């Protein structure tokens, strides 16, 4: 198993029940094991019954509809349907492998019905799987980089690691996307990529993905496809995770480096819009933007991890953020004047507080910025993961450009999510893909190794 | 050594990261309590620190734990804040905190052992003056060794003094972490808090159990702690039962094997000894190794239980007199220094749970 995230471990746990010898290679050191799974917290799955952890039901048809409603719909409908169908069996499988659950986290009520939260988040999940793996006799090597596969026709005989070549009867590639490979991102985004911050592991540089391409694997997914959100510009270049994201946008206005607004901050409910703001910011000069708000709303959203800039006037706030105070003051004045009078502010729903006569409009939650102190934070695009991967069969076998499979090379997780997701994203569906395809890949790999 | 301000600033930094993440919400009461607060004053941080039972489930689950650059280790920083708060709320030097006793509460084992020997010697002198030193050997029950009034004064004096010190400390603590004292007269909250404290609700990692001292979660620490706490309570009940027999029914010691004081005392003593031994073994495996002082409370409670058990086992032998003196000396020192030891964690944690129950209502 190349990769020790949820997909690799689901594959390992499944394979270990069918075959004797399973080895997991994790690129990270033990303390940082688990790849991007470390930063996850829930998964989306079909469930016919409500329970303590998932209030309400979420039928197959509804998840399928939700999946078709994001971006341009599923990449490969057959594989997507299989994913949705299999999702229903995941909670029980996870519980059997030691996972514990918790009620939906506060501030995520919109996900409570559709998604299940595991206790403690992704690192706890990884720890749990490792304990179960140890009981099943699965071997794990940390700090191991796989640079290439040794192919003999359509058969892989070994993987090449930083410290030697390992022979293998079957290989599961569960090594994630390439979002941490800035040079690779530059191919599609040019210099702008230098201003992207990567929310997950710095190890996700796509080495295995590139090796598979070099051996003739077919592509699946958009090469420019990535999931990104607005995160604090002070976040670390890599691995900042959940804590650095900002939820202030719908409660104030967002300016670019020229001090102008550029997108409707109140277009729709935040859970439906947070994932477009990474791209919105990526499209602005210098890939930077500024969220500003006032004292009225400051308790309405999760507090930013880094303290926001604070000032007694809009002009001073602009200076504190390094913006032109004249430009920002006039944008705010214009915005305040455009607010339609008589609206009733309701942070919990699509209210009738909107602007009139300015572009872009703010369609909901438009209140004048008039109550000091004023607050502001500089934001960058935070890339969560990339969609471009390898095409797979229903058995998770990696397909080549000529349509034939690599007989003993399988793929699971982010590295093949482009088969299922095209451009949009559903919160928690990455874990669903990782688990469903990890199990399929693990079972097929074990079967092949035994055949 | 970090100043209290450094500790609060570091706790504030880490808690701010936690409040932006919230993955650990299901582990214990610390995270929901954190989320109810928008600004963290020092009283809030002290409250969160006391609410934390150091189960370390959140640390194990934290993707921001070292070597991550955010370096989040909430159990460690909250433990540091908690221990600093134990000192902060003690009365300032004065009659409640006499300067000449400073080495005893400050310096740990050596000074405490010396003090215990001193108390033992004083008790021996007392025996010599009152009953004559021969009483140590030809006893029929404790009062032939030490007369009842002298024994009562010996035990009640340090206990009352400790209670006064704790009362002063607790008043200041409650004021800073919660507010008006009258809120403590909330019987419903006290009952709920007592149940949560007795079950060690927040040492369960939300059901995942406590990974201390290693990586594998297990109920061992909670059960061992329970053995010590319940053993202590049972021994206390044995004392009450003896007092009842003696002062109400007029039946003096020694009590038969099948009497309430002996049964309760034996069960409690064994439970405490087993719990202390187990906790000591867990601590030895702890990483990093604990400092000598960390064992203090366990050793003290273990000695209380051990000397108490020995008085029972040897009560029909000539050794009884000396063992009784040793037990009494241990009681005097343990009770007298209690406010200056980690024994106070029981009081502060209980108050933190009460405050939390009131907040949730």
Q: How confident is the model over A78-97, as pLDDT tens digits?
A: 999 999 999 999 999 999 99
Task: Test A120 with B61 for CB contact under 8 angstroms.
Answer: yes
Q: CATH code at B335?
A: 1.20.950
- Whole-angstrom Cα distance, residue A362 to residue A346? 14
pLDDT for the residue A391: 98
Amino acid B291: pLDDT: 60
What is the average per-residue pLDDT within B238-252? 92
Calculate mean pLDDT across residues B6-27. 95
Least confident of A21-35, A107-121, A180-194, B114-128: A107-121
Residue B288 has a pLDDT of: 64
pLDDT of residue B102 exceeding 80, the answer is: no
Contact check, Cβ <8 Å, B206/A119:
yes
- Round to whole Å and give the CA distance between A222 and A241: 23
Within A154-298, strands assigned E span 155-161, 164-167, 171-173, 197-198, 219-220, 226-232, 253-256, 289-294
A324–chain B nearest CA distance, Å: 30
Tokens 């004083």 found at: B122
Residue in B with minimal Cα distance to A37: B63
Q: Are both B29 and B163 inside the same structural domain?
A: no
**Are B106 and B84 part of one and the same domain?**
no
The structure tokens listed for A430 are 């990455």
- pLDDT beyond 80 at A379: yes
Q: Are residues B79 and B137 in the same domain?
A: no
What percent of chain A is predicted at pLDDT more than 90? 86
Average pLDDT over residues B225-237: 96
Task: Give the per-residue pLDDT at A290.
Answer: 98
CA–CA distance, A430 with A37 (Å, rounded to integer): 9
Same domain, B56 and B193: no
Is pLDDT above 90 for A301?
A: no
**Model confidence pLDDT, tens digit, residues A403-442:** 999 999 999 999 999 999 877 788 899 999 999 999 999 9
B20·A305 Cβ contact <8 A: yes
- Cα A148–Cα A134–Cα A23 angle in degrees, nearest 5: 15
Is residue B94 domain-resident?
Answer: no
B196 & B338 share domain: yes
- C-alpha A294/C-alpha A312 separation (Å) is 10
User: Which tokens belong to B226?
Assistant: 């329970």
Which one, of B359, B348, B346, B358, lies nearest residue B49 by Cα? Answer: B348
| Short-list A360, A400, A154, A192, CA closest to A260 | A360
Interface contact B60, partner A, CB < 8 A? yes
Whether residue B125 is found in the same domain as residue B236 = yes
Tell me the three state secondary structure of residue A153: coil
Nearest by CB to residue A304, choosing from B20, B60, B215, is B20
Residue numbers of the domain that contains B42: 4-88
The per-residue pLDDT for B212 is 86
Q: What is the pLDDT of residue B54?
A: 93
Mean pLDDT, to the nearest integer, of A368-374? 97
Q: Which residues, including other chains, have CB under 8 Å from residue A54's CB and lie 6 or more apart?
A: A47, A112, A113, A114, A115, A116
Q: Give the containing element (helix H, strand E) for A386.
A: strand A374-386
**Cross-chain Cβ contact A100/B206 below 8 Å:** yes
Mean predicted confidence (pLDDT) in B80-92:
89
pLDDT digits (tens, 9 = 90+) for B126-180: 888 887 888 888 767 788 888 888 889 989 999 999 999 999 999 999 999 999 9
Summary mean pLDDT of chain A: 95
Q: For A23-71, what is each residue's pLDDT tens digit?
A: 999 999 999 999 999 999 999 999 988 888 888 899 999 999 999 988 7
B118 in the same domain as B220: yes
B8-21: average pLDDT = 95
Q: Give the mutation candidate from A243, A247, A384 for the B interface (greatest B CB count, under 10 A).
A: A243
Token output for A74:
């599923």
Residue B34 inside a domain? The answer is yes
Q: Is the peptide bond between B7 and the residue preceding it cis, with omega within 30 degrees of 0?
A: no
Q: Which helix (H) or strand (E) holds A331?
A: helix A325-337
- Average pLDDT of the residues in B9-19: 95
How far apart CA A211 and CA A217 sit, in angstroms, is 9
For A207-243, the pLDDT digits (tens) are 999 999 999 999 999 999 899 999 999 999 999 999 9
CA B108/CA B111 separation, integer angstroms: 6
ipTM of the complex model: 0.94
Query: Cis peptide before B92, with omega less than 30 degrees from 0?
Result: no
Are the beta carbons of A144 and A206 closer than 8 angstroms? no
Residues B85 and B173: beta-carbon distance below 8 Å: yes
* Contact criterion met (CB < 8 Å) for A31 and B67: yes
Number of domains in chain B: 2
| Contact by Cβ (8 Å): B35, B19 | yes
In this prediction, residue B107 has a pLDDT band, given cuts at 50, 70 and 90, of low
| Residue A82 C-alpha from the chain's centroid | 21
In this structure, are B204 and B76 located in the same domain? no
CB atoms within 10 A of CB B90: 18
Does position B292 have pLDDT exceeding 60, yes or no?
no
In a domain, B93, yes or no: no
Interchain CB distance below 8 Å, A100 and B17: no
Mean pLDDT of chain B: 90
- For the cut 90, the answer to whether the pLDDT of residue A107 exceeds it is no
At residue B40, the 3 state secondary structure works out as coil
List every span in chain A annotated with CATH 3.50.50.60: 6-187+200-225+387-450
pLDDT recorded at residue A108: 57
CA distance A25 to A28: 9
Sign of CA dihedral B99, B101, B105, B111: positive
Chain B residues whose CB is inside 8 A of the A29 CB are 67
- Tokens at residue B25, please? 């919400």
What pLDDT is attached to residue B287? Answer: 63
Q: How far apart are CA A253 and CA A353, in angstroms?
A: 13
Q: What is the pLDDT of residue B220?
A: 95
A103 to A52, A54, A56, A106: CA distances (angstroms): 7, 7, 13, 9
Q: How far is A97 from chain B (nearest CA, A)?
A: 13
Helix (H) or strand (E) holding A139: strand A139-141
Asked if the model's pLDDT at residue A109 lies above 60, the reply is no
Cα–Cα distances in Å, from B287 out to B73, B108, B179? 14, 22, 37
**What pLDDT does residue A156 have?**
98
Residue A75: band (very low, low, confident or very high) from pLDDT cuts 50, 70, 90: confident
Rounded to a whole number, what is the distance in Å from the CA of B5 to chain A's nearest CA?
Answer: 19
Measure the CA–CA gap between B133 and B126, rounded to whole angstroms: 9
CATH fold for domain A229-382: Flavocytochrome C3; Chain A, domain 1 (3.90.700)
Domain A6-187+200-225+387-450: state its class: alpha beta
Question: What DSSP designation does B95 have?
Answer: T
Q: Please give the model's pTM, rounded to 2 decimal places.
A: 0.93
Question: Does A123 sit within 8 Å of B60, measured CB to CB?
Answer: yes
Chain B positions touching A123 (Cβ under 8 A) are 60-63
| Chosen domain end from B32, B64, B88 | B88
B62 → closest Cβ in A119, A123, A245: A123
Are B35 and A106 within 8 A, CB to CB?
A: yes
Domain final residue pick, B56, B88, B120: B88
The answer to whether A437 touches A413, Cβ cutoff 8 Å, is yes
Rounded to an integer, what is the distance from CA A9 to the centroid of its chain? 18
Q: Is B26–A103 a contact, with Cβ atoms under 8 angstroms apart?
A: yes
**B16 → closest Cβ in A41, A106, A303:** A303
């Amino acid at each position: 198993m190349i990769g020790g995230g949820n997909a690799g471990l689901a594959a390992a746990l499944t394979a270990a029940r069918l075959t004797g010898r399973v080895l997991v290679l994790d690129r990270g050191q033990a303390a940082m094991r688990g790849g991007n799974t470390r930063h996850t917290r829930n998964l989306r799955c079909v469930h016919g019954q409500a329970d303590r952890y998932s209030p309400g039901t979420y039928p197959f048809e509804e998840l399928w509809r939700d999946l078709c409603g994001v971006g341009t719909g599923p990449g490969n409908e057959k594989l997507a349907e299989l994913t949705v169908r299999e999702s229903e069996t995941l909670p029980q499988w996870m519980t059997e492998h030691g996972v514990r659950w918790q009620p939906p986290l506060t501030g995520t009520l919109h996900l409570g019905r559709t998604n299940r939260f595991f206790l403690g988040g992704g690192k706890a999940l990884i720890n749990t799987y490792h304990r179960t793996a140890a009981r099943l006799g699965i071997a794990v090597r940390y700090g191991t980089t796989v640079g290439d596969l040794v192919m003999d026709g359509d058969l892989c005989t070994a993987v090449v690691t930083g410290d030697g070549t390992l022979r293998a009867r079957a290989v599961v590639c569960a090594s994630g996307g390439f979002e941490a490979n800035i040079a690779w991102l530059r191919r599609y985004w040019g210099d702008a990529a230098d201003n992207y911050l990567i929310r997950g592991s710095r190890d996700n540089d796509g080495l295995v993905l590139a090796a598979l391409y070099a051996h003739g694997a077919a592509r699946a997914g958009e090469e420019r496809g990535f999931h990104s959100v607005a995160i604090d510009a002070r976040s670390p270049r890599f691995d900042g995770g959940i804590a650095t994201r900002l939820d202030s946008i719908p409660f104030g206005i967002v300016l670019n480096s020229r001090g102008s607004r550029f997108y409707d901050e109140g277009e729709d409910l935040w859970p439906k819009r947070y994932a477009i703001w990474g791209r919105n910011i990526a499209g602005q000069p210098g890939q930077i933007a500024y969220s500003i708000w006032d004292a009225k709303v400051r308790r309405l959203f999760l507090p930013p991890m880094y303290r926001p800039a604070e000032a007694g006037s809009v002009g001073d706030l602009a200076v504190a953020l390094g913006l032109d105070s004249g430009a920002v003051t006039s944008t705010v004045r214009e915005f305040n004047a455009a607010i339609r009078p008589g609206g009733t502010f309701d942070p919990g729903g699509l209210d009738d507080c909107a602007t009139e006569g300015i572009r872009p409009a703010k369609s909901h939650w438009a209140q004048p910025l008039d109550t000091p102190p004023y607050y502001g934070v500089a934001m960058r695009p935070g890339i969560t993961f990339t969609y471009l991967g390898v095409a797979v069969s229903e058995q998770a076998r990696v397909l080549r450009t000529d349509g034939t499979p690599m007989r003993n090379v399988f793929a699971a997780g982010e590295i093949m999510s482009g088969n299922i997701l095209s451009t949009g994203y559903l919160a928690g569906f990455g874990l669903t893909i990782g688990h469903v395809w990890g199990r399929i890949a693990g079972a097929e790999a074990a079967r092949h190794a035994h055949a | 050594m970090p100043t209290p301000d450094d500790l609060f600033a570091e706790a504030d930094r880490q808690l701010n990261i936690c409040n932006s993440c919230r993955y650990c919400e299901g582990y214990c009461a610390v995270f929901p309590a954190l989320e109810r607060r928008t600004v963290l004053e020092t009283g809030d941080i002290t409250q969160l620190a006391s609410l934390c039972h150091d189960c370390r489930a959140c640390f194990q689950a934290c993707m921001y734990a070292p070597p991550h650059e955010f370096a989040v280790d909430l159990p460690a920083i909250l433990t540091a804040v908690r221990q600093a708060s134990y000192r902060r709320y003690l009365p300032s030097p004065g009659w409640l905190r006499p300067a000449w006793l400073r080495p005893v509460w400050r310096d740990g084992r050596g000074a405490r052992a010396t003090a215990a020997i001193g108390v033992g010697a004083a008790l021996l002198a007392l025996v010599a003056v009152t009953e004559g030193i021969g009483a140590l050997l030809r006893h029929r029950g404790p009062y032939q060794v030490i007369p009842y009034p002298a024994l009562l004064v010996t035990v009640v004096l340090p206990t009352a003094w400790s209670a006064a010190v704790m009362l002063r400390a607790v008043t200041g603590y409650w004021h800073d972490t919660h507010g008006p004292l009258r809120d403590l007269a909330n019987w419903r909250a006290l009952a709920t808090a007592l149940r949560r404290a007795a079950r060690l609700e927040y040492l369960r990692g939300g059901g995942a159990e406590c990974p201390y001292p290693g990586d594998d979660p297990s109920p061992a620490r909670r059960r061992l702690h329970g053995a010590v706490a319940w053993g202590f309570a049972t021994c206390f009940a044995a004392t009450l039962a003896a007092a009842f027999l003696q002062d109400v029914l007029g039946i003096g010691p020694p009590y038969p094997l099948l009497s309430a004081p002996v049964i309760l005392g034996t069960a409690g003593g064994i439970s405490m000894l087993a719990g202390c031994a187990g906790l000591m073994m867990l601590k030895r495996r702890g990483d990093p190794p604990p400092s000598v002082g960390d064992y203090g409370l366990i050793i003290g409670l273990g000695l209380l239980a051990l000397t108490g058990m020995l008085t029972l086992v040897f009560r029909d032998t000539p050794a009884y007199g000396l063992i009784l003196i040793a037990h009494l000396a241990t009681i005097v020192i343990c009770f007298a220094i209690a406010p200056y030891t980690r024994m106070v964690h029981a009081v502060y944690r209980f108050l933190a749970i009460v405050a939390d129950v009131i907040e949730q209502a």
